[in-house]
A and B are shown apart, each in its own frame.
Chain A
Amino acid sequence: MPKITYIEYGGREHQVEVPSGLSVMRGAVDNNIPGIDADCGGECACATCHVYVDEVWLGTTGTPADGSQEASMLSFAALAQPNSRLSCQITVTEALEGLIVRMPEGQH
């Protein structure tokens, strides 16, 4: 099972194993990791599972396509950066073994 590292805004790290096929958001929620709210439950309909993907991983996770629902929702998120993703839209695969994501100051 791929290991994923979630880093809270304050710096606290959580390393958990997340089964392939689940989303990175689900991995956080199922392990009670604070900082990812996921209000819509993974429908790409809010922006409260916002994370910053560690730069070295951006090539593997990819970035949202222009004009996509994810890009649109992220454009309303406070504090979005070029490496921002909605973690409900990143599906865990073996290729993401070791992925690091960081959380913003708050979900909005």
Chain B
Amino acid sequence: MSPPLDDAVHSAASSVPLDAIDVSNPQIYQDDTWYPYFARLRREDPVHYVRDSRYGPYWAVTKYKDIMQVEVNHQVYSSSNELGGIQIEDQPKDMDRPSFIRMDPPKHDEQRKAVSPVVAPANLANMEGVIRERTIHVLESLPRGETFDWVDRVSIELTTMMLATLFDYPWDDRRQLTYWSDVVICNVNASDSPVHSEEERFAEIIKMAEAMAKLFNERARMPPKFDLLSMLAHDPATQNMPVREFMGTLGLLIVGGNDTTRNTMTGSIMALNEYPAEYQKLREDPSLIPGMVSEVIRYVTPVIHMRRTAKEDTELGGKTIKKGDKVVIWYVSGNRDPDAIEEPDRLIIDRARPRQHLSFGFGIHRCVGNRLAELQLRILWEELLPRFPMIEVMGPPNRLYSNFIHGIRSLPVRIPA
């Protein structure tokens, strides 16, 4: 979101020497002070070399068109786990967890295709009814006239139900999925993280893998059905994964399957509260919901960055990238690039071409669940508007300490009595 920032933040961002700008500090995302740093980089040094950061040297790619160029050129910009994967922070080598998002073709392609049918258009049409029913149920149970946490009561509840369905996971244990999702993405240095070291994280993910392996083995013995575990168990590309690849793949599907949508559900409430005139426009014309959903996905940008590693010397935005360099594409910045998106810092729910944003990524790693995410958000708002014309934000959000997931841990809201 872009509330008026402290003058101090703006002046810090404009007075710091360009060389010293390092956008990898998770604190600027938790404090929501990242905007002016990226605005300056886009203007003065769009492909910016950071010589020294806690994650080592890296390139910060900040303009929409340069990010797109990296996205479509997977031959040069690799996602391979062996080269460091897709986050600015490498996983420790002895505990790394490959998955298809951390692979290049051809193995990436084979594994992605094992799971993508679950979110294909025909299956989405099948799921729409059950998503709507659950959404209605969750909304009908919300209290009126008292402050409650939107994240826990709505965003987590709905996306965790979705995840349990996608995995056909035991229903009453579904919040385990939320917990593991948080374990996978958390920054272990944050005081409120569920785990506080890479060893502890690894140990928790092993527990997840054990629970999932039980279900996976059962489904391998049963005829194929349309859930993620059964699909993994029956596809030759994924049925014999080594244990760390199994851990990585489940982590990917769990995080991708809930966390991003969770944060966008929360972000949509915040964004519309920030722009009351847009909220009013939506109330008056619910046919704007699909466009609003795309716009909110852009505005929130639930994944902050992706990382690639250059496999050969190349050129980007006039800079020479060397083989082996870490190249970080900042979706939060590309989505606010005025050369690609008009008035990018404003939420405009009926803007032209709302689907043209970077939040799902582009190229072969583009978010496989993008249409399911949009469907869940659309249904949420279709059911929300006629019931509650106003969801009122009662205080500041508690944001996640992370430079990767743009997370909101809690948000106090109230439905006027």
> Interface on A for B, CB 8 Å cutoff?
37-41, 43-46, 48, 69, 72-73, 75-76, 78-79, 104-108
Chain B residues within an 8 Å CB radius of A48: 355
B120 touches A (CB below 8 Å): yes
Given A39-B356, A43-B72, A45-B72, A72 contacting B364 (CB threshold 8 A): yes
A46-B366, A105-B121, A108-B371 as given contacts; A37 in contact with B355, CB under 8 Å: yes
- Which residues from A are CB-within-8-Å of B370? 108
Q: Which chain B residues lie closer than 8 Å to A38 at the CB level? A: 355
In the assembled complex, the CB of A42 is this many whole angstroms from the nearest CB of chain B, namely 10
User: What would 18 A/B residue contacts be, using CB atoms closer than 8 Å?
Assistant: A39-B355, A40-B362, A41-B353, A41-B356, A43-B72, A46-B362, A69-B72, A72-B364, A76-B109, A76-B112, A76-B116, A78-B122, A79-B120, A79-B121, A106-B124, A107-B371, A108-B120, A108-B371
**In the complex, B119 has a CB within 8 A of chain A:** yes
Residue of A nearest to B355 (CB): A39
In the complex, are the beta carbons of A105 and B122 less than 8 A apart?
Answer: yes
Given contacts A39-B360, A40-B362, A76-B116, 20 further A-B pairs with CB under 8 A are A37-B355, A39-B355, A39-B356, A41-B356, A43-B68, A43-B362, A45-B362, A45-B366, A46-B360, A69-B72, A72-B105, A72-B109, A72-B364, A73-B364, A76-B109, A76-B113, A78-B122, A106-B122, A107-B121, A108-B119
CB distance from B51 to the nearest CB of A (A): 31
Flag B352-373 by CB within 8 Å of A: 1 or 0 each: 0101100010111010101100
Chain A residue nearest in CB terms to B120: A78
List A contacts of B362 (CB < 8 A): 40, 43, 45-46
Please give the residue numbers on chain B whose beta carbons come within 8 Å of chain A beta carbons, in ascending order.
68, 71-72, 105, 109, 112-113, 116-117, 119-122, 124-125, 353, 355-356, 360, 362-364, 366, 368, 370-371
Q: Chain B contacts of A46 at CB under 8 A?
A: 360, 362, 366
Which residue of chain A has its CB nearest to the CB of B357? A39
Point out the residue from A75, A76, A106 that lies within 8 Å of B121, measured CB to CB: A106
A41 proximity list for chain B (CB < 8 A): 353, 356
User: Which residue of chain B is the closest to A69 with respect to CB atoms?
Assistant: B72
**Assembly CA distance A75 to B112 (angstroms):** 11
Contact status A108-B121, CB under 8 Å: yes
What secondary structure prevails in chain A residues at the interface with B? Answer: loop
A19 to chain B, nearest CB (A): 19
Determine whether the beta carbon of A40 is less than 8 Å from that of B356.
yes
Distance of A38 Cα from B355 Cα, bound (Å): 8
**B371: which A residues are within 8 A, CB to CB?**
106-108
Give the nearest-CB partner of A75 in chain B.
B109
Residues on the B chain within 8 Å of A107, using CB? 121, 371
Write the chain B residue with the least CB distance to A42. Answer: B356
The answer on a CB contact under 8 Å between A76 and B364 is: yes
User: Closest chain A residue to B75 by CB distance?
Assistant: A69
Task: Report yes or no: B116 in contact with A78, Cβ–Cβ below 8 A.
Answer: yes
B185 to chain A, nearest CB (A): 24
Cβ contact within 8 Å between B356 and A45: no
The smallest C-beta distance from A39 to any residue of chain B, in angstroms, reads 5
Task: Give complex CA distance A73, B120 in Å.
Answer: 15
| A-chain residues with CB within 8 Å of residue B366 when the two chains form the complex | 45-46, 76
A36–B371 alpha-carbon span in the complex (Å): 14
- Which residue of A is nearest B362, CB measured? A45
